[in-house]
Amino acid sequence: MAKITLKGNPLHTVGELPAPGTDLSDLKVTKSDLTDVAIGSFAGKALVLNIFPSIDTSVCSATVRHFNQDAGGLANVMVLCVSMDLPFALNRFCGAEGIKNVHTASAFRHPDFGQKLGVRILDGGMAGLFARSIVVLDASGKVKYTELVPEIAQEPNYAAALAAAK
């Protein structure tokens, strides 16, 4: 169990982020077209998982915008933004914001996603949502880098995540 905060108030996650080398290729998410896909289907490129509580919050939407701006020029790197939001909400946001360089997915059908990654929040008003975190996978689907942002209201270390993906 990891400890994080939301505006200084303590929260806990279901576990810890996976160790480097952990194979996550079997994890599934639901794409914007409502089809389910395994993370392993993105093999061949480094994959940055931008995991967050909800697209409808300012910091979460800022992370998607930031990665969208930075991901456009990266070869062999894909950014997948994942939350418990429904694909409809993620599509609405991306359409309104002109987001084209990142992909979004929902874990609403796949509770094991948050469990296996150790990011599901256990308590407080955000219980059931995901802690803000970054998991970078290499081209074979194995964990290369992780970051659990200690304060949900803060943004992740974009530079470190993208450096690990290159």
The set of catalytic residues is 60
Residue 13 contacts residue 119 (beta carbons within 8 Å) = yes
Quick one: the chain helix, strand, coil %, rounded to 5? Answer: 25, 30, 45
Residue 25 contacts residue 107 (beta carbons within 8 Å) = no
Query: Distances in Å between the alpha carbon of 15 and those of 40, 91, 163?
Result: 22, 29, 26
The distance in angstroms from the start CA to the end CA of the chain is: 30
Name the residue with tokens 């910091």: 59
Cα(22)–Cα(124) distance, rounded to whole angstroms?
Answer: 29
Length of the chain: 166
